[in-house]
A and B are shown apart, each in its own frame.
Chain A
Amino acid sequence: MKILNKILLQVLLFLLALVTLFSLIYVLIIAFGKNVISATTFIPEGFTFENFVKLFRETKFANWLANSLIISTTTMVISVILVSVAAYVFSRLRFYGKERLFNLVLLVQIFPLSLSMVSIFQIFVKTGLLNKPLGLIIIDSALSATGLILLAKGYFDTIPYELDEAAMMDGATRLQILRKITFPLVKPMLAVVGIQSFIIAYNEYTIASAVMTVNVEKMPLAVGLQSLIAGQYGINWSMYCAGAVIGSIPMLILFYSMQKYFISGLTEGSVKS
């Protein structure tokens, strides 16, 4: 009975993976497809590299990719720092106004971003950030940090405070505790935050399309790619998918390289109570 259950579960896991894998295959089909007219094509006339060649020859794809990589990596670093500091503060420090601040972080995110655009644009104008990659880095950091604090705080909370207390008894300072005990334990969470913030910055379209309008070369990938399917002129799904395929490689590499941190010695060295 137990074995049967196990097999069933593995079959489920496999089938689901198959369905999901299909999405990648589908994007590949269109990216390599010959003369694909509609985005709902599953069997193209033939296969070709043409779309990739066109992508690099006719658009500024290489620039877009580079811009996005720079913006997303910087955003990732900034938001990992911001988020870990904030999560530590919320989880470990008892201070005046903590609960209210935490609620504020949560509540402000309810407001739909699409409607904030007018105001965000004004801020960009006033601060001289308009059309600067720097501006995108800042707002992407704000977006991802705010969105990820809750997650990180929840994770910090799962690490027993007794660990800190025990270390304090041994005479460790707060900073030492942070470095030697807390930080190694939250690595998996930092990996998740890092990936998430990278993805948020990498995919952000709404704001970028409004504030990065002057130079085509300076646009991030999401805006550039979108323009391939936004025109009314023979929307080229193949070129779009070719861009999506190349564009997803950095994210897959990032995810794969960070995978080990997800699992890394979480329980190692913790007090077995």
Chain B
Amino acid sequence: MKRLAILILFLLTFFASVPAVSGSEKTVRVWIGAIAEEKEVMDELAMEFKEKTGVNVEVYQKLEIFTVPNALVNNAELDERPDIVYMQAPDIGGLAESGYLLPLEIDDDLRSRFVDVAFEAFTYNNQVYGIGYSNSTYGLLYNKDLIREDELPETWDELFEKAEALTLRDETGNIVQRGLFLNANDMWFNYPLIKKYGGYYYGTYPNGEYNAYDVGLDNEGMLAYVEKMKELKALGMVLNNPEKKDYSDIVAEFSKGSVAMFFYGLWHAEFFKNANVNYGIAPLPENAKPITTVEGFVVNKFTREEAAALDFLRFILEDDNQQRLIEAGNRHQRKTGERNPTNINVINSPYIQEDEVLASIAQVGRNVEPFPNIPEGTLWYNQDVTFNTFRAIFFGDSSGNEVDAQYKLNELADYIRRNVALMNEEVEFVKTPWYVFAILGGAILALAAYLFVKKIKQRRDPNYFPTKHSRTLTLLAWGLMLPLLALLLMFYVYPIIHNFYLSFTNYSGLNLRNYGIVGIANYKTIFLAGLQGLVQLILWTFVFALSVVAISFVFGTFLATILDKTNVRVAKVYRLIYILPWVIPSIITLLMWQGLLDTESGLVNKLLGLIGIGKIPWLSNAHMARLSTILVMVWFSFPYFMVIAYSFLKSIPKDYYEAARIDGASSFAIFRKITLPLIFRALIPILIMSFIMQFNQFGVYILTGGGPASPRIGNPGATDLLITYVFNTAFNTKRYSLAAAYSVIIFIFVACFALITMRANKKKMEV
């Protein structure tokens, strides 16, 4: 009791504590990137700036640049708001649209000291919102031992010719060296090639602004590109693994020295260095522009120190300071290539020019196409649709049948256009029609009537004695539950109510601040258009969650009983091993399973091959993928049930077993008839909880990405769960209020399920 009192006191002091008010001194807060060396230099610059102007500058490191836009939205108007923020240019569209970014005046001096793309990338609606600092780009990486710099191709045709000549096979026909190595599923690094043939991401209006409705992915140029890629694939210059999204395999081959050229940047420079590859980077043939993410500084619109913030921004953009920052960003003499300067003076400095690779990539960086920074830009790289489309085109659909490229490309382009339209749709207020009120009101009335009738029936029942609750006991109980109740209200009940409210608004990525009530518009969208395909999704989600919980429970309990009978010391070791899946971060074990189950190169198939079993498409066939997902998730959750069942086993009275044994029951019968039901009864709430957890399981997404993809773009993949699919579709188009509406529906749905299950099992629990 004493401890509880201390705890309550403890909690109360927490909530009573008021955030400290900072002094009246002017303070500019700067959020920068993840590199520690850069932070050191930025701190030095802050000190110097303070000496010069008296303005205090605080520098904060942001480890994940992808989370920065979100963090800015969260913190933009708080006391500790950031004033200058380092972020990726493609993220600025939505922020500018919602009014989080301060438009910047760029004078001629500044403009002349940086490459054009530093401003171009941060220009949205003819307004500059930031200044590029580093330019994450790629070029033609080549192995100097296989192709000399002066031999590098100048035209695309020359590239293909040379690549073919450099592709070598051994006597058995296996490729031992590749002139060019591409990932056909990818669009980022292949973009210059796509562009050469006439395809493009988003077209532009005559004034240079992007036209998001002009999607250049289903034109004739794209077909020509597909033809060329197929040709290169036949020559062995395309990675022959349909599952691969990233470049790790190609990078690994390049490290081994068996690839002459490929399109890539310096993301793995350290690895190349470690592997002693003698490599260089060159501009693409015909001066084609690679697609690029520029990173740079923007200013928070809600800054309280606008003048000081702009002064500091100007200060760090000075040539000398840029030099110091860039050198630190590349970790000084290690020259990692992590920061590719946009400042012209820095580009021409000895630090960059003396390093051949850094000098070349800086040169490449002057001729690039920044990735579209319009809010619709994220439609490209957030979703797996492009991957799935190209996978189908180049490797066939999930059953291996060839698909019509034109049809597939049309489908992809239409899908993107449709989503662009959805993103830009003005959500209009939808008045709740009278029948919705009627239905809801009716339901409530019916429920009330039901409860009323039940109560009356109960009262009339001669055997019914109303339970009298002792007032002291009730007070004591609620008193004891108070701290927990407070936490529950704050972190569980309030978010639900808040989301319920959001589901009636038009809160979206383009409308983060000035959103308002739009009635039941989101619910209307869901019921009118969104319910197609959801039935299959709901069914699979149920099957998935139920099977994972059921198998894990039975299996875990079973193992617990065996362990119970095993030698105590051995059992200890086993239990320690079995909980490993708990202890190791699941992202890494999920990726391990992904690697193990890979159809082409997975260890499981290799082992099966040894005993003469052919390749099993564990994750690439729809049915097998579903099975694999369930099994992998069981692998994750059975130890939980095992540990719990093990401690419950001890509380089962021994006489139960003795009696059964006297009756001549077998061990298995005892397990089935006594152990399992007893533990089941005790664990019903846990089982329901686990079911809910599996219902909302995001881990599947790491394992399969929801795939294999549906033959129709935009439909749920074979292993997509309700929650991942729905949120993906809503978040991909940044319609957050729609996601909220979905979550309310799912919540009500699962809550009813849980309540009914609880009620149905109540009798069992009390018997």
CB distance from A260 to the nearest CB of B (A): 9
Tell me the A9-34 residues at the B interface (CB within 8 Å).
9-10, 12-13, 16-17, 19-21, 23-24, 26-27, 30, 34
Contacts of B338 on A, CB cut-off 8 Å? 233
Contacts of B562 on A, CB cut-off 8 Å? 9-10, 12-13
In the bound assembly, the distance between CA atoms of A234 and B582 in angstroms comes to: 27
Q: Are B495 and A251 in contact (CB under 8 A)?
A: no
Interface string of A21-63 (1 = CB under 8 A from B): 1011011001000110111111001000000000000110000
CB distance from B45 to the nearest CB of A (A): 18
Contacts of B175 on A, CB cut-off 8 Å? none
Does A157 lie at the interface of the complex (its beta carbon under 8 Å from any beta carbon of B)? Answer: yes
Q: B643, B650, B743: which contacts A192 (Cβ < 8 A)?
A: B643
Interface string of A173-210 (1 = CB under 8 A from B): 00100000000000011011000000100010000011
For chain A, which range describes its interface: under 10, 10 to 19, 20 to 34, or 35 or more residues?
35 or more
List the 6 closest pairs (A to B, CB-CB), nearest first: A40-B595, A38-B248, A227-B63, A116-B495, A150-B685, A108-B492
Tell me the B475-506 residues at the A interface (CB within 8 Å).
476-478, 480-481, 483-485, 487-488, 490-496, 498-499, 502
Q: Are B480 and A146 in contact (CB under 8 A)?
A: no
Q: Can you offer 24 A-B residue contacts whose CB atoms are under 8 A? A: A12-B562, A23-B580, A38-B249, A39-B588, A82-B484, A82-B487, A121-B74, A131-B80, A134-B14, A138-B14, A138-B487, A146-B484, A154-B685, A213-B71, A219-B63, A231-B34, A232-B267, A234-B270, A237-B588, A244-B584, A251-B582, A252-B583, A266-B647, A272-B653
Contacts of B685 on A, CB cut-off 8 Å? 106, 150-151, 153-154
Q: A105, A203, A263: which contacts B488 (Cβ < 8 A)?
A: A105
Does A66 lie at the interface of the complex (its beta carbon under 8 Å from any beta carbon of B)? Answer: no
Does A85 lie at the interface of the complex (its beta carbon under 8 Å from any beta carbon of B)? Answer: yes
Contacts of A210 on B, CB cut-off 8 Å? 67, 70-71, 74
Q: Are A119 and B271 in contact (CB under 8 A)?
A: no
Q: Are A225 and B654 in contact (CB under 8 A)?
A: no
Contacts A24-B584, A39-B248, A106-B689 known; list 20 others, CB within 8 Å.
A16-B578, A30-B588, A35-B271, A40-B591, A40-B592, A40-B595, A108-B488, A110-B692, A110-B751, A114-B727, A118-B495, A119-B495, A129-B14, A131-B80, A138-B487, A155-B648, A158-B651, A231-B63, A231-B65, A273-B653
Interface string of B737-760 (1 = CB under 8 A from A): 001100100110011001100100
Does B469 lie at the interface of the complex (its beta carbon under 8 Å from any beta carbon of A)? Answer: yes
Does B611 lie at the interface of the complex (its beta carbon under 8 Å from any beta carbon of A)? Answer: no
In the bound assembly, the distance between CA atoms of A101 and B480 in angstroms comes to: 13
Contacts of A37 on B, CB cut-off 8 Å? 248, 251-252, 255, 268, 271
CB distance from B760 to the nearest CB of A (A): 14
Interface string of B322-336 (1 = CB under 8 A from A): 000000000000000
Does B572 lie at the interface of the complex (its beta carbon under 8 Å from any beta carbon of A)? Answer: yes
Does B452 lie at the interface of the complex (its beta carbon under 8 Å from any beta carbon of A)? Answer: no
Does A70 lie at the interface of the complex (its beta carbon under 8 Å from any beta carbon of B)? Answer: no
Contacts of A3 on B, CB cut-off 8 Å? none
Contacts of A244 on B, CB cut-off 8 Å? 584-585, 588
Does A4 lie at the interface of the complex (its beta carbon under 8 Å from any beta carbon of B)? Answer: no
CB distance from B492 to the nearest CB of A (A): 4
- Given A20-B577, A155-B648, A107-B754 contact (CB < 8 Å): yes
Q: Are B584 and A248 in contact (CB under 8 A)?
A: yes
Does B528 lie at the interface of the complex (its beta carbon under 8 Å from any beta carbon of A)? Answer: no
Tell me the B53-84 residues at the A interface (CB within 8 Å).
60-67, 70-71, 74-75, 78, 80
- Given A93-B473, A146-B492, A230-B580 contact (CB < 8 Å): no
- Given A13-B563, A155-B648, A216-B4 contact (CB < 8 Å): no
CB distance from B555 to the nearest CB of A (A): 9
In the bound assembly, the distance between CA atoms of A189 and B655 in angstroms comes to: 22
Contacts of B268 on A, CB cut-off 8 Å? 37, 234
Contacts of B579 on A, CB cut-off 8 Å? 255
Does A78 lie at the interface of the complex (its beta carbon under 8 Å from any beta carbon of B)? Answer: yes
Interface string of B437-475 (1 = CB under 8 A from A): 000000000000000000000000000000101100110
CB distance from A232 to the nearest CB of B (A): 7
Contacts of B251 on A, CB cut-off 8 Å? 37
Q: B275, B473, B746: which contacts A95 (Cβ < 8 A)?
A: B473
CB distance from A33 to the nearest CB of B (A): 11
Interface string of B634-673 (1 = CB under 8 A from A): 0100010001101110110111000000000001000000
Contacts of B580 on A, CB cut-off 8 Å? 20-21, 23-24
CB distance from A172 to the nearest CB of B (A): 16
In the bound assembly, the distance between CA atoms of A37 and B277 in angstroms comes to: 14
Q: B494, B591, B651, B698: which contacts A39 (Cβ < 8 A)?
A: B591
- Given A13-B559, A23-B592, A128-B19, A151-B686 contact (CB < 8 Å): yes
Q: Are B491 and A35 in contact (CB under 8 A)?
A: no
- Given A13-B562, A110-B751, A58-B66 contact (CB < 8 Å): no
Does A76 lie at the interface of the complex (its beta carbon under 8 Å from any beta carbon of B)? Answer: no
In the bound assembly, the distance between CA atoms of A230 and B65 in angstroms comes to: 8
Q: Are A154 and B686 in contact (CB under 8 A)?
A: yes
In the bound assembly, the distance between CA atoms of A141 and B496 in angstroms comes to: 19
CB distance from A10 to the nearest CB of B (A): 7
- Given A109-B689, A150-B685, A227-B64 contact (CB < 8 Å): yes
CB distance from B37 to the nearest CB of A (A): 9
Q: Are B60 and A215 in contact (CB under 8 A)?
A: yes
CB distance from B494 to the nearest CB of A (A): 6
Contacts of B104 on A, CB cut-off 8 Å? none
Name the residue among A78, A118, A127 with the largest chain B CB count within 10 angstroms.
Answer: A118
Q: Are B499 and A111 in contact (CB under 8 A)?
A: yes
Contacts of A93 on B, CB cut-off 8 Å? 473, 476-477
Q: Are B739 and A34 in contact (CB under 8 A)?
A: no
Does B18 lie at the interface of the complex (its beta carbon under 8 Å from any beta carbon of A)? Answer: yes
Does B269 lie at the interface of the complex (its beta carbon under 8 Å from any beta carbon of A)? Answer: yes
In the bound assembly, the distance between CA atoms of A231 and B582 in angstroms comes to: 25
Name the residue among A16, A138, A213 with the largest chain B CB count within 10 angstroms.
Answer: A213
In the bound assembly, the distance between CA atoms of A230 and B67 in angstroms comes to: 10
Contacts of B91 on A, CB cut-off 8 Å? none
Contacts of A103 on B, CB cut-off 8 Å? 755, 758
Contacts of A222 on B, CB cut-off 8 Å? 585
Does B581 lie at the interface of the complex (its beta carbon under 8 Å from any beta carbon of A)? Answer: yes
In the bound assembly, the distance between CA atoms of A130 and B3 in angstroms comes to: 26
CB distance from A11 to the nearest CB of B (A): 11
Does A166 lie at the interface of the complex (its beta carbon under 8 Å from any beta carbon of B)? Answer: no
Contacts of B723 on A, CB cut-off 8 Å? 112
Q: Are A227 and B71 in contact (CB under 8 A)?
A: no
Does A120 lie at the interface of the complex (its beta carbon under 8 Å from any beta carbon of B)? Answer: yes
Q: Are A107 and B751 in contact (CB under 8 A)?
A: yes
Tell me the B106-142 residues at the A interface (CB within 8 Å).
136
CB distance from B586 to the nearest CB of A (A): 8
